[in-house]
Structure 1
Amino acid sequence: MLGPDVAVLSLGEVSEVLSLSVNKVRQLLRDGQLLAIRRAGELYVPADFLAGNAPVKGLAGLLTVLTDAGFSRTEMLRWLYSEDESLPGTTPVNALRMNHGTEVKRRAQAMAF
């Protein structure tokens, strides 16, 4: 799914960055505002999903589009980190971080049809 080179944060680390309790971070995960992966039985959030002390702008909306398109969490993560030379930043997650959320969301919507 994600290579070992993708930096991840534990839920405790995410709670510190976002200044929220771990329970609130879990709620963000349940609400589809963040996405986590499981490694060695623990949940981790890719560090790329955070910008400063907040989730990357547009991430929650993008995750909603991907969910509505029938993507599993694994497929979402795979797509977010897939190379796409036509996007600024070469991957959807990097394009999102570079404030190109509209273009990334358009591509996600196009995949749904």
Structure 2
Amino acid sequence: MTDDDLSQNHWLSLPEVADALGLQLREVRAMVREQRLAGMRRGPSSAYLVPADFLSTDAADEAPGPLPALRGTLIQLSDAGYSEEDAVRWLLRPDEALGSTPIAALRAGQVHAVRRVAQALAF
């Protein structure tokens, strides 16, 4: 995946994530440390940015926060040897087996399908 492919996504700085979720910046940083959220350094200033698709902010029955299925998927990718940046790139790249990007499949509730594809990456 090239940087041009990544630029099609909407990216948020950590302060923007904190504002979107109604949290303090330290709480968002803790989410990154705990693998509940992920991002990567981008742009001319190499700012740490998070894809907006990783957040769940508009569900009426859910409190705003990281997409619930994201943490388990990030941990699985980490266990498969993926760096945080590699995991973000994988989640945003279209996957033939899923018929969409893994993050779109997670947002659509296809958690098991995404994790099945991610599990195969370790072998």
- Tell me the TM-score normalised to structure 2 length: 0.83
> Within the alignment, does 1:45 sit opposite 2:53 as a pair?
no
> Match of 1:57, SS?
coil
The residue that corresponds to 1:11 in the other structure is 14
Q: Is the 8 A contact 1:57 1:101 kept in 2?
A: no
Which 4+ stretches in 1 moved above 4 angstroms? none
> Within the alignment, does 1:80 sit opposite 2:85 as a pair?
no
Identity rate of aligned residues, in percent?
41
Q: Is the 8 A contact 2:12 2:52 kept in 1?
A: yes
2 CA distance for matches of 1:104 and 1:32?
17
Alignment of 1:14-25 (within 5 A): 14-25=17-28
Structure 1 unmatched ranges of 5 or more: none
- Tell me the TM-score normalised to structure 1 length: 0.90
Counting matched residue pairs gives 112
> Within the alignment, does 1:35 sit opposite 2:58 as a pair?
no
Which deviations, in whole Å up to 9, do the C-alpha atoms of 1:75-107 show, x marking residues without a partner?
Answer: 11221122123315x110110111111110111
Considering Cα pairs closer than 8 Å and 6+ residues apart, tell me whether 1 or 2 has the greater RCO. 1
